[in-house]
Amino acid sequence: MTRPITQAISPFFIVSNVDQTIAFYRDKLGFETRFREPDRNPFFGIIGRDGAQILVKSDKDASPLPNPRRHPSMRWDAFVYAPDPDALAAEFADHGAAFIAPLKDTHDGLRGFEICDPDGYVLFFGRPT
């Protein structure tokens, strides 16, 4: 019997403004809007690029709480596997994305870079070296 596979995982971020979040990921990181509800002033959205996908939701009673705000040594909210982090970093830079950690080989055997979104969620884009 073959083992069932999983294809991807989609983090769910509480955000302060869904439209602002969608615009950041679209304009700076090349993500597409896969879903938003409602069309005007959405409270929920799904954004993605290739196999990477993020669900975002805003609520007046819930504030974003990225991992680095909870504990400084918990730097990432998501690891996005990127087979060619060098090319991806160049594309993001061409679109004006700000890196909070530049493209590099890390001490723990990864090659990649970090991006922080408007609510403080930190994504590492990279791969094992």
Question: For the whole model, what pTM was predicted?
Answer: 0.93
The percentage of residues in the chain with a pLDDT greater than 90, rounded to a whole number, is 95
- Give the pLDDT confidence of 31-74 residue by residue, as tens digits: 999 999 999 999 999 999 999 999 999 999 999 999 999 998 99
Separation of alpha carbons 58 and 31, rounded Å: 19
How long is the chain? 129
State what percent of residues in the chain have pLDDT above 70.
Answer: 100
Average pLDDT of every residue of the chain: 96
Q: Has residue 7 got a pLDDT over 90?
A: no
Q: Does the 12-128 domain belong in CATH 3.10.180.10? A: yes
Helix or strand (DSSP H, E) at 100: strand 99-105
Question: CA torsion angle for 33, 49, 14, 10 (degrees, to 10)?
Answer: 120
